Structure 1
Amino acid sequence: MIVLKNCRLVRELTEDYANQYADILIEGKYIKAIKEVGSHFDAACAEIDVCGKTVIPGLFDLHAHIDCRSQDANKMQTKDAGTILFEAYEFGREYLRQGYTTVRDCGSRFNAAIALRDAINRGIVDGPRMIASGLIVTPTERGNDTFKALYAEADGPEETQKACRKEFQKGADFIKIMGTGAFYNEGGVPGETIASFEELAMAVNVAKMKNSYVAAHCHGVEGIKLAIRAGVRTVEHASFIDEQGISLLKGNENCFMVPTMAIDMVTVDDPSLIPDHMWDKVDTLTEATRICTKNAYQAGLKLGWGSDIDFESLKNHPGYEFVARKRLLGFDNIEMLLQATKYSAEIVLLQDQLGTVKAGKYADLIVVDGNPDEDVDVMQKDLCHVIKEGKIVY
C-alpha cells in the first residue's frame, strides 16, 4: 500500500471528500481511502509526501494517432510495421510521462494501437490505458492515398458493415469512420460530406451489436449533423459546427463533441512542419474552426479532450492541448481540467472507474508542481509523479 501525504485537491475533480488537503491511501490498483491530513492508516504503507502539491486524476486524450511520429506524411508511408510499433510504444510512454493515463487511438496502421494495448494489458510494457479503433473506415475519397495504410475503404451500407465487422474481428474497441473530408489528405475538402446517413447508421448498428460505439471524423456543418442523427457517440473535431449542430448536442447524453486544438498550435509555433498542400485550407478555415469551437463551449456543451497531435509535437510542447484551449479559445482553467478528466471519462463510459479522485476508483493520479486550477500553464512543466492503477510510473 502507498499513502500520498499532504495532497492538495481540486474540489471539482474530487468526489466524497470536502476539504482541500488530504492523505490518499492506495491499495493495489485502487484508491482505498481519502482522509484528512495526518490520519493514521492501520496497515503498513510506503509514504510519499507530496508537500502540498496538487493531485488530480490521470488525463485522457480521446483523439490520438499513436503511429504518427511527425507531420511528415511521406515518411509515415514508407515505414514498416515493426518500426511503427516501436515508435508507437515510445509515443505511449511520452503520453504517460505527461500524465495521460488513458489514450483513445482514433486510427493507426498495422494494428499498432491494438498491439500496443494488448502488450500493456499483459504487462509486457508500460504505457497508458489504450482504447483502440484499428483502421479508419472511409468511403472511397480524394486524398485517401495520403494515408493509404490507415484506411479501410467501404462504399454503401453493406461494405461499411463488412469493414466495421473486420475491425472488431481484429480487436478494435470502437469504430472510427470518416464523415467528411480531411485537412491533411491531399485533395480532401474538410467541409465536404463524404459518408451517407445510411453508411454512418450501419456503422453505429454494428458497433451496438458489440456493445461499442462510433467516433465520426467530421469537420463540415452538414456532416456533423448527419453523424449526430445517425447515432455516433463522438463527433471528432466538429470544426465548423453551427447553431443547429450545437442545439443537437445540448443536453445530449449520447453524443459528444471532441475538439482537437493542439494540432492547430503547430501552424502557429512550427509552421515549417505543415505540408505545402495544406496551407490553403489552414489559411481559410482555421479561424472559422476557433470561432465555432468557442461557440460550442460558450453554449455549455460537455466537450471531450483530444489533441490529434504527433509524437514530436507532443514531446516538444508538453501540455499542448491546455496551451491551445487557453491561448486560442480562452477556456476556463477548471473547465479544461474537467474536460481532460471527468468529462472525457464520461464520454467513453469509464466514469465508474476513472475521471475523478474518489475512493473505489482506479488510482490513476498525477502530482502537479503548482495549482493548475489557478494557473493552467503549470501543466507544461514536468510532473512530480504519475500513477497508473496504483503503480508509480514516473
Structure 2
Amino acid sequence: MRRAACTSSIKRRFGLPAALLTWLGLGLGAVLAAGTPVAAAPAGRDLSIQAGAVFDSVRGEVLAGRRIVIHGGRIVEVRPAHDDDPPPDLDWRDRLVMPGWFDMHTHLIGDIQSADPLAPLKSSAAEDVLLGAAHAAATLRAGFTSVRDVGTYRGLVDVALRDAIRRGEVAGPRMFVAGAYVTAPGGGGEVTGTPGASLPAEFRLGVARGEEALRERVRVLAQGGVDLIKVIATGAVLTEGTEPGAMEFSEDELRAIVDEARKHGLDVTAHAHGAEGIKAAIRAGVRSIEHASLIDDEGLALAKRHGVFLAMDVYNGDYIDEVGKRDGWSADILRKNRDTTDAQREGFRKAVAAGVTVVFATDAGVFPHGTNARQFAYMIRHGMRWQQAVQSATWHAARLLRVEQELGSIEPGKLADLVALPLPADGDPPDFEAAVRVVQEGVRVEGPAVTPPLSAVRRRAPEEPVTPP
C-alpha cells in the first residue's frame, strides 16, 4: 500500500494549474492525448501478426513461428506460420509474443509515494484522476494491459478512471478496482497523523470496526461499482503508527467481510504482512493475500490447501530503501521496510518451491508507474523460472480475477491483448523492459491518440466451471 504525494506535479506535467484545467472544461482525453495509443487498423478489420515465437501461458511453453489473426478485438486463429503466408500487418518474426501482462497490485490514483503522510489531503479528486490517467497510459505502454488496482484513500475515484478507460476516453489498462480500503480506524488503510474527525467522508468510505459496520462498508462499496473488496488485515509498512505484523481485524470480522462480499458477487483480497493475520484471512475465505511478507510454513500450507493466491511485491523493498533514505522518508517506515523485505523474499522462494500460486503484483505507486516490469527480474532471482514469472502475470492473474475465459492466454476466442519482446537467445530469459510492443484488443499501442472503448469482461462466478472460449 502507498500514499499519494502532493499533486503539484499536475502543473509540471500539463503546464497548467488544475483549477484552470477545470475552468476550461478540458476532457481527460484531450489533456492526455500525447503519448497514448493509436489503432494499427480500423475496427473490425483482421490484424495479422507473424511472430518469431508465442508464449503458451497455460503450459508455460514457447512455440516457435506462429501466425496470429485478430478480428474485432479478439483472436480468431493461432497456427504455425508458413512460408507462403501473405505479408502480415505486424511483422514480429524477431519477437516473442506473450499475452498482455497483468499487474495485480497497483495504485494508479494520485501521485507516487512521498515523505509527507498527509499528502492525500492536499489534492483534489480531479487532480488525483488526472494523475491516474497519466499513470494508466504509462502502465499500458510498459506492457500491462490489465491491472488490479487495490485501493485509494479517496473512495471510488478509481471507479471513475476505470470507466473512462472502458469508454475509450483515456488510454490505459483494463482496471479491476477496489474503490477504497476496508480498514480499522487508525489502521493501515487510513490517512494517519491527523484527527479522524478532520478527514472528509470520502476518505473514510471503508473505515469501520465490528462485524455489522464492516458489512455495511462492503455494501456501500458494492453499490459504488467496485470489482473486488480490499481489506487491511494487518498493519502496513508505509502507514505511520501501524505495525506490519499486528492484526487489525479479528478472524470473525474478516469472515463477515468475506461473507458480505460474496452476497454481492465479489471476491476479497487481504493486505496482510504478519503471519497470524495471513492465516486468519485465509481461514476467513479471502481469494488472495497481498504482500504476505512474514508468511510462515503453516500459512503457506493453508494457502495451498485453500487455493489462495499470493500477491508478493518482491521488488519495491529496494526502491523504498534507496529513495526513502534519499528523500527523507520517516525512520519508522524505513525500519519496517527493512524488517519485511528479506523475509518476504524468503517467503516468496518457499511459496514457489511449495507450489503455492503466486501472481505478479508490484505495488506500483510506491515507485513510478511504467517501471512495473522491473519486478520480473526479482521474481526470477528469488526462485522462479522466467516462464513461471510470465505465467504469474498472465494465466494465473486471469484465474485469480476469474476472467481466464477472456484473458490471460493467446487462444482463439480470447481478447487480443498482447505484448511482444525481442526474441531471447535459447535458454535466456527475455529482457522484460526492452523495446516492448503492445496490442490491446487488437489495437497497437503507440503514438498520439486514444484507444477505442474496451469490451466488457464477464467475471466467472466462483461455482461456475471454466469453459473453453
**TM-score (normalizing by structure 1):** 0.91
Which residue is 1:308 aligned to? 363
Map of 1:121-200 to 2, 5 A cutoff?
121-142=166-187, 144-146=190-192, 149=203, 152-200=206-254
Unaligned runs of 5+ in 2: 1-45, 194-198, 447-469
Any idea what SS the aligned residue of 1:63 has?
A: strand
Q: Which residue of structure 2 lines up, in the alignment, with residue 335 of structure 1?
A: 388
* SS of aligned partner of 1:166: helix
By relative contact order (CA 8 Å, sep 6+), the higher-ranking structure is: 2
Equivalent residue in structure 2 for 1:290, among 345, 358, 372: 345
Distance in 2 separating the partners of 1:311 and 1:187:
18
Deviation at 1:257, TM superposition (A): 1.2
Amino acid at match of 2:192: T
Q: Pick one of 115, 118, 121 that aligns with 2:160.
A: 115
CA distance in 2, matches of 1:91, 1:247: 37
Q: 5 Å matches for 1:132-281?
A: 132-142=177-187, 144-146=190-192, 149=203, 152-253=206-307, 255-271=308-324, 272-273=326-327, 275-276=329-330, 277-281=332-336
Contact 1:7–1:24 under 8 Å retained in 2: no
- Tell me the distance in 1 between the aligned counterparts of 2:297 and 2:344: 14
Shift of 1:203: 1.1
Q: State the Cα deviation string for residues 289-338 of structure 1 (Å, max 9, x = none).
A: 222222112111111111112275234x45222133234x2422111011
Give 1:392's aligned residue.
444
Cα gap change, 1:141 to 1:355, in 2 (>3 Å): same
Q: Which TM-score applies when normalising by structure 2?
A: 0.77
Whether contact under 8 Å (1:88, 1:112) holds in the other structure is: no
Cα RMSD, aligned residues only:
2.4
SS of the counterpart of 1:229?
helix
Residues 85 and 19 (structure 1), Cα distance of their counterparts in 2 relative to 1, 3 Å cut: closer
Which structure has the highest helix share of the two? 1
Q: Which residue of 1 aligns with 2:49?
A: 4
* 2:92 corresponding residue in structure 1: 50
**Does residue 1:379 correspond to 2:423, yes or no?**
no
Q: Which runs of 5+ in 1 are unaligned?
A: none
CA contact (8 A) 1:61 1:102 kept: yes
Contact 2:55 2:99 in 1 (8 A): no
Which residue number in structure 1 is paired with residue 32 of structure 2? Answer: none
> Aligned equivalents of 2:348 and 2:254: distance in 1?
23
Distance in 2 separating the partners of 1:198 and 1:393: 46
Q: For 1:311 and 1:88, how far apart are their aligned partners in 2?
A: 13
Q: How far apart are residue 164 of structure 1 and its match? A: 0.6
> Is the contact between residue 262 and residue 309 of structure 1 (CA under 8 Å) also seen in structure 2?
no
User: What is the number of residues matched between the two proteins?
Assistant: 387
2:296 and 2:328 map into 1 onto residues whose CA distance is: 27
1:356 equivalent in structure 2:
409
- CA deviation after TM superposition for structure 1 residue 38, in Å: 2.8
Select the residue among 109, 127, 137 that pairs with 1:93.
137
User: Are 1:224 and 1:238, in contact at CA under 8 Å, matched by a contact in 2?
Assistant: yes
SS at match of 1:3: strand
In structure 2, the CA distance between the partners of 1:138 and 1:12, relative to structure 1 (3 Å rule), is closer
Selected match of 1:366 from 419, 437, 448: 419
Deviation at 1:65, TM superposition (A): 0.9
Matched-pair contact (CA < 8 Å) for 2:55–2:63: no
Deviation at 1:18?
Answer: 8.7
Distance between the aligned counterparts of 2:191 and 2:267, measured in 1?
26
Mapped to 2, the partners of 1:336 and 1:18 lie a distance apart of 14
1:120 partner SS: helix
Query: What's the secondary structure of 1:154's corresponding residue?
Result: coil
